[in-house]
Chains A and B, each alone.
Chain A
Amino acid sequence: MILKDVVEKLGLKERTASEKLAVEVNGGYASDLLSDVLANAQPGNLWVTLQVHQNVVGVAVVRELAGIVIVNGREPDEETLKRAQEEGIPIMVTSLPTFDVVGRLYQLGVSRAPGR
């Protein structure tokens, strides 16, 4: 499934890099610990987190993630938006909590596939 479909089906709000929504989402990873994501998220995964500071962008770049979903109605910091736009990392926000986002992703058939 491509990111654009995920955004539409979950009603996510786009914040950065809307031009990258055609990217394929091959699974996901949910964590608020950056090193955990660096160790376990696979390229092409969608990352679900409540972290809003700019270092999430660096992590997404290094792991070549499809995008970042920020939960619980939080908004990314100004610096985060700037950095994400610069690096071309799509950030989306939602008022849903992590549990609901992941549940809905599973219902859509986006499960944790070992991307390579």
Chain B
Amino acid sequence: MRCPMASETSFQQEFAIEGGDFNNAGRASSRLRNILKQIGISPLVIRRVSTASYEAEMNVVLYARRGTLSFMVTPEKITIVVEDEGQGIADIGLAMQEGYSTASREIREMGFGAGMGLPNIKKNADELEISSEVGLGTTVRFSVKI
């Protein structure tokens, strides 16, 4: 496939994420990853983007009812927005702390709940913005420079 970034036009797409749906959890990030590969993004950038997007996607599966993962590729950067309808985060500063987690026992037994997801997103992204309203939902927006 030819690289669409050769022109100035950007590339954009959106995927749905279902809360609690472990069968399809991670698929949005996996599809995003395949697209980034096809348009010739470097392996290191792909790893950073897909690690962060996988963490954000899993948080929707674990803590929200439903959400979307959308991404935009410009010649400078890849921007990912993961938006959900769900319980929201009361204290974002606290949620960002490594080790903080509200995961249930069942979820912890599956290996989630280390409280490392949001810190992982921060580590892999060049820019990160989280906004949330309790009872409504959460938006995680991050970008990685190409």
Contact = CB atoms under 8 A, between A and B. Distances in A.
Do A and B pair up? The answer is: yes
Interface of A: 32-36, 38-39, 43, 49, 51, 53-59, 61-64, 79, 87, 116
A51 B111 contact: yes
B110 A39 contact: no
B111 A34 contact: yes
A58 B61 CA distance: 13
Chain B binding surface, main DSSP class: helix
Interface residues of B, number: 26
Contacts, number: 74
Interface in B18-40: 22-23, 25-27, 29-30, 33
A35 B116 contact: yes
Best-buried of A36, A51, A55, A79 by chain B (most CB within 10 Å): A55
Contacts of A34: 58, 110-112, 114
Contacts of A38: 51, 54-55, 116, 120
